[in-house]
Amino acid sequence: MGDHPQTEQPESVDRIRDIIFGPKMRDYDQRFEAIVRDLDRLQQELDGLTDKQASQNTAQTKSVQALRQELRQADSEIRSELKQELVRIEAQMAEQNASQTEELQALRQELRKANADLREELRQIAQRLTGEKTDRSTLGDLFIELGNQVKSGGSLADLLKGLEHQG
């Protein structure tokens, strides 16, 4: 029986502990289990939120990539249209410049011709005036004759007839 009290001692110590600390330990165990359950639940929610966020990130990334592609395509289309418009405007301007150059050349030719025509007409008028004008000595003789006719009482008609015979 001597051995028996020694084996009862550890059991009795556990029992005493259970009596003294039992309710507190059970309370701590329950609290610990509740905290572990809460942590597991929170971890599951966190995992769910992480998955949801990853899914949203993937969707947003795809959306951003699609928008970038649309922007690149729109940019490319706009650039192409602008290049075509620029080519059209350049061609139109070149055509207008050519047309204006032709008009300027035509105007220059017209001015040259008009200048040449005016010069020729001026030469003809000068030659005609030279041929038709009376020189000074003839004009002087005419005035002398006119003066003599006036002094002698002759008529202007007689003077003109006399001039016709001289010419």
> Over the chain (167 residues), what is each successive 10-residue block's mean pLDDT?
54 80 81 93 94 93 94 95 94 91 92 90 82 73 81 74 66
Residues 67 and 89 in one domain: yes
2 sits in which H/E element: none
| Residue 156 and residue 95 share a domain | no
pLDDT of residue 118: 86
My answer on whether 81 and 151 are in the same domain is no
Q: What is the value of pTM for the model shown?
A: 0.41
Q: Do 110 and 76 sit in the same domain of this protein? A: yes
110, 141: one domain: no
Burial of 141 (0-12, 13-18, 19+ CB in 10 A): middle
Claim to verify: residue 59 and residue 41 sit in the same structural domain: yes
pLDDT of residue 2: 46
Domain encompassing residue 157: 135-167
pLDDT for 12 = 83
